[in-house]
Structure 1
Amino acid sequence: MIRYLIAAASVAGAVLVGCGGSSPGPVACADLKNTTLAGATVLSATAVPAGSFDAPAQGLIPAQTLAGMPAFCRVVAQATPSSDSNIGIEVWIPAAGWNQKYMQVGTLAYAGFYQYGPMASALKRGYAIASTDTGHALAVPDLAAWAAGHPEKIVDWGWRAHKITTDFAKLVIAKHTAMGSKFSYFLGASNGGREGFMAAQRFPQDFDGYIIDGPANNWNRLSAGWVNTEQAQFTNAASTFGQNKLPAIQAAALAQCDAADGVTDGIVNDPRSCNFNAQALLCTGAETDACLTAPQIASLNRVLDGPRSPSTGKRVFPGYEPHGVNTPDWVSYISGPSLFGVLNSDGLLGNGWFGDFVRGTGAPLNFDFTTINFDIDVAAAISTKIGNESIASIVDAGGTDFSGVKSRGAKIILTTGWGDPVVPPRYVIEYYESVVAGPAFNNNIGAARDTFRLFMIPGGGHLAGPGAMGASGIGNPFGNPSTVKDAQHDVISALEAWVETGAAPDVIVGAKYNNDDPAQGVKLSRPLCVYPGLPKYKGSGNTSDAASFTCVDGPRGAYLN
């Protein structure tokens, strides 16, 4: 409450005018046009009526109709903190029923577009919400083409666009409503998770709570992991295992590991507890889709192991898990083929980092990914400077000191799917453990959980992607929704309860929907346990029902042996 009073007082000071300090009252939506706040200027301010809202096309992202929208004030703004900056910002403010809370939505991949879907979801919950394109339009097929030769745009994407968005949004909301937000939250997944951690580390005073899923917050080393999947499979044709092999790989992994958690259900609760042996897939005769050749097994093992230093042999970054590979996301991101005619999407992301950001030469479709060296190029990102900072430090948010978040009393809920083919789940555990060991918590996981909690999602994919078996429907607007809006089933409600009432979440019950469609009902539910807890079958009851499971203490660490 003290935090809210201080925040409200500072915002009120920004909107008071006159010698007596009296408030001018709310400013009508249309009258916000041409207003400049926090370095951003309002280009348009439109009162949007309730009903369907037609969100505009954004490059290759088609226009979309968002149904069931409440009336809101749509503010479109622009910020130019440098001569090479062109940061776009959108803020949506409910016309009625505002819950006096602000939510900022992170971006995906190399950004260049607004997150209209998550914005609509939050608006329907009563939030005022903002999103940014981070200063450029979506580039295709080289998603990071805008970065080559444009250091100020790298700074905008790295952190500056979101800080300006935060400051501008809070002020324009206060100007329109004549009141401040009681609570401010950040919602981010993938690159948006990186942005959330960047805000927490650089500007811990800005937000009261964070929901972060599958965070790409160590972009430099993660890019090595992405390129590793590309080099492993596509350096020579003999190593390419392709999507036709994925059913066999998944079946073999489940045959070896599924029963280890006490239930044979297509979900491995803790992949760390079982070391998959890909050699079981070796073809003994003619090659078929049911087996792998020796070069293909070597390729798969490299994908699962992660990139290693060519000089020391040490792992640069964790690899991926084999138990849920037969999904559209694994096809797109790892095995290929992917969008835009590239070999795989992970490679597309990694090529953009090393080609556009680090080397500055560009990363077109014919980019030679075989030249990327996990010693030289990873180090180059650390040594190459923009002003007084390295490219890696401008972009990466892998810091371990969360003292600012802790002292503010802010809270973080971090979630990650064990089947994520973009951000390796073992990295997320590795990172969380590094924060626990950091100066804010001094290796006291109990103290860390007072501020920062991790929930692993067995069988969950990236952004709760399609086809994954896990119960990842927990209400994150980037993934599957929750059909029950309470703190036990819905991650936003859980964060609100923790921040606003002090009720920390120990369990969030996730849902897997029939055909990934909530309208078709729940196929299975499963408790997601606060790390290092694990769901364990009680020994009786429906294995598709979360009530048949309990959370038990599990081991700590990304690797158990």
Structure 2
Amino acid sequence: MLTFPLSLCMFPLAAVLGSAAPSIQNGGGTTSSCASIPAPHVPGAKVLSVKGYDRMVQVPGSAPLHSNITLSICNVDVALTHKGVNDKVLVTVWLPTPEKWNGRFQATGGGGFGAGFFDLYLGPAVAEGYSSASTDAGVTVDPWDVSKWALDKDGKVNYGLLENFSTRSIHDMAIVGKAVTKSYYKKPANYSYFNGCSNGGRQGMVEAQKYPDDFDGILANAPAVYWPQLLAADEWPQVVMQSEKTFPSECVFEAFRKAGIAACDKLDGVEGGVISNIDDCDFNPLALAGKKVECGGKSTTITLAEAWVVKKIHDGPKTTSKRKLWDVVPVGAFYNGTANHTLVNGAPHIAPFLVSSSWIKYFLKKDPNFDLSTLTYADIPKLLKQGVDEFEGITQSGNTDLSALQKSKTKLLTWHGLADQLIHHQGTIKYRKEVERRLGGGSKVDEFYRLFLAPGVNHCGALGTNDGAVPVNPLGVLEKWVEQGEAPETIPGVATDENTGAVTFTRNICRYPLVARYKGNGDKNAAESYECAPDFGSHHY
């Protein structure tokens, strides 16, 4: 019997998977033998093997997560290869018994440099009644380490495997997963969905851009669109600390985070420990220089050098003409995603975000031993441009032409936290605005693509580290849009106490560009006291 962990680094389970989805009564019925699933036809690939077997798995129940349930499933592993790539790709499909199947198929995404996380996401999906698939893209399931596949034996970028990771294998997974589902249940899924966050969100956007007919609905959260720009920019905090020879402690960084929230909290008219009106937030870190904070039971004074580091991090990389190239860490977000450091022989040393550092070492520098501490302020704009020039064509997630998706019946839903410390929400807003510009405005785009911004929520809504209300069951919201025609105006959100798990407040997260504005009366912790409005207004309550 298999049991698997409930969380994985920065790519949390709860934010990616849905729960309490609308039920489709599929009924019982017969199935094909799990051991005799035929090889699916996958255009552009050759199927090497199909292995199916019945098994028992333990998966987390929906509430609480640590209460496991035991399920009987059919596990089908499909291995395939692509001509000229010398790869071996694994696609795994989990299928609940006929009486447990909800009639839907759900493909799951990955995170970092992992194309899929298999058991971690397949288990909760089948527990909700989906047939579900995951893929390794022929690379690895390691979100951090690309050493086994990024470069070939000659030290050149392995473009075949990069194409697998970037685009091709998500499409292959859709084909394989739906075909295996149809073979096993002797009928196709009523509806099919893609569900991912972070790199999984990027994978969902690739599906929307390149393969708009693969799914009926795509849930692409905190999407790592503009992949080359994002990963070069995420190295910026490390360059700032190294260049200034100043490495603030985690405690000092937390003092700046809380000060940023305090400075901008009331801009939405409500004091609640969350920055909602982040566009009008003008936090000045230099104001904290000379202030005392408690760190480890001792009083420490924030230095001007530390304040300058924080200011430079928020300013982000710029061109020589001082034009900002990319946003990095939003005010109110945790700094420990990209601004970590460590001690080497007692001296502070950079500790980069591993997805960013792997990108720079292997794909840009083509040198696994490249010393990241040698990077300067001037290098980040160059690396950003190099990444776009060399890899935008193959990563493709920044392609804003969604005309094919517009013509299809597929719906695309995205939510992004406004306190995301790894993938700045401005990249998602930039993408949405560019789609609107191409396709004739927001109302036309809203017919098939809707965006929701969650104040105070970090990367993918990682459990226990959010000041704001985390979206609840966005997959269920998407399903209502697809299956019942209910285009969402809001997604319900819930904030919980980090220690007790008790609900502290609720919000309805509004469809972009609308915001949740306090009506002026009623419980400020209750969602019904807020309305979706074009702005926060000028009145503070």
1:503/1:290 Cα in 2 relative to 1: closer, same or farther (>3 Å)? farther
Q: CA deviation at 1:286?
A: 12
1:286/1:508 Cα in 2 relative to 1: closer, same or farther (>3 Å)? closer
Task: Output the amino acid matched with 1:135.
Answer: G
1:317 aligns with 2:326: yes
**Contact 2:519–2:531 under 8 Å retained in 1:** yes
Deviations 1:62-119 (A, max 9, x none): xx99921432211112221144312121111121232221111111000165242332
Aligned to 2:413: 413
Provide the secondary structure at the position in 2 that maps to 1:241.
coil
1:182/1:231 Cα in 2 relative to 1: closer, same or farther (>3 Å)? same
Map 1:358-397 to 2 at 5 A: 358-362=364-368, 366-368=371-373, 370=375, 373-384=379-390, 391-397=391-397
What's the TM-score once normalised by structure 1's chain length? 0.80
In structure 2, distance between residues paired with 1:534 and 1:177: 44
Task: Output the amino acid matched with 2:321.
Answer: T
In structure 2, distance between residues paired with 1:254 and 1:235: 27
User: Could you tell me which of 478, 484, 490 is aligned with 1:501?
Assistant: 484
1:542/1:216 Cα in 2 relative to 1: closer, same or farther (>3 Å)? same
Aligned to 2:312: 302
**Contact 1:185–1:210 under 8 Å retained in 2:** yes
In structure 2, distance between residues paired with 1:207 and 1:304: 38
Q: CA deviation at 1:549?
A: 1.8
Map 1:309-458 to 2 at 5 A: 309=319, 311-325=320-334, 330-336=335-341, 343-346=350-353, 348-362=354-368, 366-368=371-373, 370=375, 373-384=379-390, 391-438=391-438, 441-442=439-440, 444-458=441-455
1:66/1:256 Cα in 2 relative to 1: closer, same or farther (>3 Å)? closer
In structure 1, distance between residues paired with 2:293 and 2:385: 43
In structure 2, distance between residues paired with 1:188 and 1:284: 42
In structure 2, distance between residues paired with 1:446 and 1:65: 42
Map 1:1-16 to 2 at 5 A: none
Aligned to 2:5: none
1:495/1:290 Cα in 2 relative to 1: closer, same or farther (>3 Å)? farther
In structure 2, distance between residues paired with 1:259 and 1:416: 21
Aligned to 1:283: 290
Deviations 1:508-561 (A, max 9, x none): 1111223277xx432221110111111122233332221222221139xxxxxx
Provide the secondary structure at the position in 2 that maps to 1:334.
coil
**Contact 1:228–1:303 under 8 Å retained in 2:** yes
Provide the secondary structure at the position in 2 that maps to 1:146.
coil
Task: Output the amino acid matched with 1:205.
Answer: D
**Contact 2:232–2:356 under 8 Å retained in 1:** yes
Unaligned runs of 5+ in 1: 1-24, 55-63, 385-390, 475-489, 556-561
In structure 1, distance between residues paired with 2:54 and 2:292: 68
User: Could you tell me which of 470, 488, 493 is aligned with 1:472?
Assistant: 470
Q: CA deviation at 1:140?
A: 8.5
**Contact 2:497–2:503 under 8 Å retained in 1:** yes
Provide the secondary structure at the position in 1 that maps to 2:95.
strand
In structure 1, distance between residues paired with 2:342 and 2:524: 35
**Contact 2:54–2:75 under 8 Å retained in 1:** yes
CA RMSD of aligned residues (A): 2.8
Aligned to 2:172: 164
**Contact 1:78–1:88 under 8 Å retained in 2:** yes
1:247/1:140 Cα in 2 relative to 1: closer, same or farther (>3 Å)? closer
In structure 2, distance between residues paired with 1:235 and 1:32: 58
Deviations 1:433-483 (A, max 9, x none): 111111xx22x1111111111110010000112322111141xxxxxxxxx
Unaligned runs of 5+ in 2: 1-29, 153-157, 537-541
In structure 2, distance between residues paired with 1:130 and 1:498: 22
In structure 1, distance between residues paired with 2:291 and 2:67: 53
Q: CA deviation at 1:297?
A: 2.3
More helix by share: 1
User: Could you tell me which of 92, 95, 101 is aligned with 2:94?
Assistant: 92
In structure 2, distance between residues paired with 1:117 and 1:273: 39
1:345/1:86 Cα in 2 relative to 1: closer, same or farther (>3 Å)? farther
In structure 2, distance between residues paired with 1:215 and 1:331: 20
**Contact 2:52–2:76 under 8 Å retained in 1:** yes
Q: CA deviation at 1:409?
A: 1.8
Q: CA deviation at 1:215?
A: 0.7
